Structure 1
Amino acid sequence: MNDTIQTILSHVSVRKFEDKLLSQEQIQTIVKAAQAASTSSFVQAYTIVGVTDRIKKEKLAEIAGGQSYVADNGHFFVFCADLHRHELAADIEGGANISETLESTEKFMVATIDAALAAQNASVAAESMGLGICYIGGIRNNLPEVVKLLDTPNKVVPLFGLAVGYPAEKQATKPRLQFEHIYHENTYQDDSASKTQLHAYNKTISAYYHDRTNGRRADSWTEQIAKMMSKPVRMYMKDFLNKIGIPLK
């Protein structure tokens, strides 16, 4: 097993960082690694906003649900789906009419996939440098406020944050679903096999939480999912996208 694969398989989310900022060289390396990710048809439909202002970081931490590590880290990146850049490209090329394309569900999917691929490259790069990372989806709790805070134009959607820094503490690697449950060959496996695998995975996850919390927690994965998804969240998203010029046709 090479070092790259070992880095990937050793991933854990870090939620406590040392009080030490990343250097400009580290930031540039992480962003360049992000840019090296694949991008659909070379559209490069994402932007990364680095947030260094303490007041803005604290506000983002509040929006994310009081997650202190959004403010206290080595550097905070916000990955955005960006279709505004392509409006500028059309203007340069004589005002080409690309509005129908930019308002399509397909191009929004392209932008979100591009951003996610870039972020994962950034994460692997950071972890290979001995840093820790934590994805922050909580900024989507109030995207109108995030848009104001970061002054993003229409057709730019802040998707998630990425806290990066020197780990002050790390948890054990959390067990993932079994290989057989994730990887299906040629056809999707039937539900009975999937349920059998999920029952087995529940035991693994319950044991993990029991050990990690000294017995204070032992819930299963399906219990977590059923509880979480019984309470819809961020249901404003479609209206928000409409308001910033992405009506998803």
Structure 2
Amino acid sequence: MNNMIEKILDHRSIRSFEDRPLSAEQIHAIVECAQAASTSSYIQAYSIIGVTDPEKKAKLAELAGPQSYVEKNGYLFVFCADLYRQDIVSEMEGTDVAEALESTEKFMVACIDAALAAQNAALAAESMDLGICYIGGIRNNLQEVSRILDIPHRVIPLFALVAGYPLKRSDKKPRLPQSNVYHENGYQMKKPEFIKQLEDYNGTISDYYEHRTNGKRKDTWTGQMAGMLEKKSRLYMKDYVEKQGFKKH
């Protein structure tokens, strides 16, 4: 096992940071690593917004939860699916690419490109012994997030990434057993075995929470997921995505 694998396997989300900003060199290196990620057909359909304005960070922290660590961290990055750049390309080259940009395929390309870039950024930050946490909560109100960040047409803020010097390191959360997520030569759907794996995982997670909270919690994973999925959330998303010029066909 090499250092990179050890670092990846040691990942945990950090939600408490020292009051210590990242340096310009660190930020540049993190963004440079994000840009080194694979990109579909070289389209590079994403943008990254670094947020340093205290008022904007406070507003984003409130919209995201509220989540205090969105405001108090070493640096806040917002990753966006971005096809605005391709609109500019169309103007420069005198072509009409609207139908392609509004397709579900290009929506997926932009989301995937942004996710790949973000994971490179996360790994770069962790290689510097920084802690990171992804913030999906900015999607609670993308209209307001878009206003705060001056988001143009054909751009969608997907999630944020906070990075900084950990004040407190949380415990690692056990992942699903590999046999539950990895299949060879086709999807191996043997339902009784699948359920047994999830039941065993429930025991692992319940023990994790009981130990972490000194007996105050004994949640199971399937119980958490069922409860979360029962709640209706962010039902405005389809309209917002289409309004931004994505996923119209």
Q: Same fold (TM over 0.5)?
A: yes
Unaligned stretches of 5+ residues in structure 1: none
**Aligned CA-pair RMSD:** 0.7
**Equivalent residue number for residue 53 of structure 2:** 53
Rounded to whole Å, the distance in 2 between the matches of 1:214 and 1:157 is 41
Asked whether the equivalents of residues 108 and 248 of structure 1 are also in contact (C-alpha less than 8 Å), the reply is no
1:2 aligns with 2:17: no
Q: 5+ unaligned residues in a row in structure 2: which ranges?
A: none
Task: Give the number of equivalent residue pairs.
Answer: 248
What is residue 210 of structure 2 aligned with on the other side?
Answer: 210
TM-score (norm 2): 0.98
What amino acid is aligned across from residue 141 of structure 2 in structure 1? N
> Deviation digits for residues 147-202 of structure 1, max 9, x if unmatched?
00000100000000001000000111110000101101112122221111000000
Amino acid at match of 1:245: G
Note if contact 2:21-2:75 (Cα within 8 Å) is conserved in structure 1. yes
1:76 partner SS = strand
Quote the residue 1:226 is aligned against.
226
1:200 aligns with 200
Aligned to 1:158: 157
AA aligned to 1:118 is: A
Amino acid at match of 2:185: N
- What letter corresponds to residue 153 of structure 1 in structure 2? P
SS of match in other structure, 1:160:
strand
1:114 aligns with 2:117: no
1:67 equivalenced with 2:71 (yes/no): no
Contact 2:37-2:120 at 8 Å conserved across structures = yes
Query: Which amino acid in 1 is paired with 2:150?
Result: D
Q: Is the 2:107–2:247 Cα contact (8 Å) retained in structure 1?
A: no
CA distance in 2 between partners of 1:226 and 1:195 (Å): 14
Deviations 1:48-84 (A, max 9, x none): 0000000000000000011000000000000000000
Question: What amino acid is aligned across from residue 109 of structure 2 in structure 1?
Answer: V
In structure 2, distance between residues paired with 1:168 and 1:4: 23
- TM-score, structure 1 as length reference: 0.98
**1:30–1:125 contact (8 Å) kept in structure 2:** yes
Identity of aligned residues (%): 60
CA contact (8 A) 2:17 2:72 kept: yes
